[in-house]
Chain A
């Protein structure tokens, strides 16, 4: 027996605004586009910040502008959220590449943990400490899967890596984190 039955009319009421806003956004309505993306923006900004911390605001703006330009051609082959994160992934990669071409500027280091996970006082947040010791790429993957609820296939598509790589990296990361949480060597 299903303890929490979901009424069909409830689903259609909930779905209609998304479909309606998508239709309006495709026709060039920027307010509908903003309404459509609002539920994803905090998570999206978090994702961008993990990759390009100091350039996050610029990359965020570029991502949304690129999404606006691309929304008329959005095919719904992936979910809107996955599509948006994939655009952000491209924009972050562009930003990292352009930074790498500037030899005199400080470069983003793939192995440098991103800010936001520094050790808290008195070691209160052990998980955060463990996460802070991981490289950016590992943090991004964990963020997509455990914070934003993407499937392994979706995360692979956003990060442009094979699904098998996502699976094996997650397996390794879970082992590392468990060892740290159990007081072993991380």
Chain B
């Protein structure tokens, strides 16, 4: 593995996203290469500077939940209507029970 390739892997080495084998190879190379060690130092400084700058993200958008709710409301009655129609055909549920079930789901 040449120095360029190892240098490219340093950011993933720092963030722990390298495979154990690749991580071991970088560790070995670091022990024998002052040049790569200097690169690691720069990478760590950059990583730390960016980490200090991170802040808490805004709350997760409610629009996602609203959109999911709308989609579910649109799908559920149709699916239930089909299921309940099957039940009614077999004579195991009355029309008023179907109405009650649909009201319950929609509200």
Closest to B51 in A: A147
Q: Is B43 an interface residue (CB 8 A)?
A: yes
Whether the pair A116, B53 counts as a contact (CB closer than 8 A) is yes
CB distance from A105 to the nearest CB of B (A): 22
Q: Is A4 an interface residue (CB 8 A)?
A: yes
Binding site for B on A (CB under 8 A): 2, 4, 6, 28-30, 33-34, 41-46, 49, 57, 60-61, 64-65, 68-69, 116-117, 125, 127-128, 131, 142-143, 145-152, 174, 177-178, 181
B: interface residue count bin: 35 or more
Whether the pair A60, B57 counts as a contact (CB closer than 8 A) is yes
A146-B43, A146-B47 known; A43+B11 contact, CB < 8 A? no
Q: Is the interface of B mostly helix, strand, loop or mixed?
A: helix
Q: Is B93 an interface residue (CB 8 A)?
A: no
Whether the pair B50, A177 counts as a contact (CB closer than 8 A) is no
* Interface residues as binary, B8-30 with A (CB distance below 8 Å gives 1, 0 otherwise): 10011011110010001000000
Please name the 10 residue pairs, one residue from A and one from B, whose CB atoms are nearest each other, closest first.
A149-B15, A147-B50, A45-B57, A146-B46, A30-B68, A41-B57, A61-B61, A127-B49, A127-B45, A68-B64
